[in-house]
């Protein structure tokens, strides 16, 4: 169950609209951060869902960038990135 936190830089004046759109995404919590940024925490079922949610966050109009602060996926079953030959 991946849990991540990130800081989002958003277009000036767009914090409220971005925050509203983000809160509509399942598994997302949003708080106001410093300098008009947003603090986002995500909680997903697996790595694939975590990747999709990250992409969905990037696609929200007004999001300029996201900086990952914390990512924990220790309770996700081991998935080897290597393919046996």
Q: What is the pTM of this model?
A: 0.80
Cα–Cα distance for residue pair 14/43, rounded to 1 Å:
24
CA distance 56 to 42: 12
* Separation between Cα atoms, residue 49 and residue 36, nearest integer Å: 27
pLDDT at res. 15 = 93
Q: What is the 3-state secondary structure (H, E, C) of 16-61?
A: HHHHHHHHCCCCEEEEECHHHCEEEEEECCCHHHHHHHHHHHHHCC
For residue 11, give the DSSP letter. Answer: -
Q: For every one of its 85 residues, what pLDDT tens digit does the chain have, with 9 covering 90 and above?
A: 889 999 999 999 999 999 999 999 999 999 999 888 999 999 999 889 999 999 999 999 999 999 999 988 775 555 555 555 5
């Amino acid at each position: 169950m991946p849990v991540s936190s990130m800081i989002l830089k958003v277009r000036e004046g767009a914090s409220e609209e971005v925050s509203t759109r983000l809160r509509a995404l399942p598994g997302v919590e949003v708080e106001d951060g410093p300098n008009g940024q947003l603090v986002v925490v995500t909680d997903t079922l697996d790595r694939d869902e975590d990747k999709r949610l990250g992409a969905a966050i990037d696609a929200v109009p007004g999001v300029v960038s996201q900086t990952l602060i914390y990512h924990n996926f220790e309770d996700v079953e081991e998935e080897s990135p290597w393919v046996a030959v």
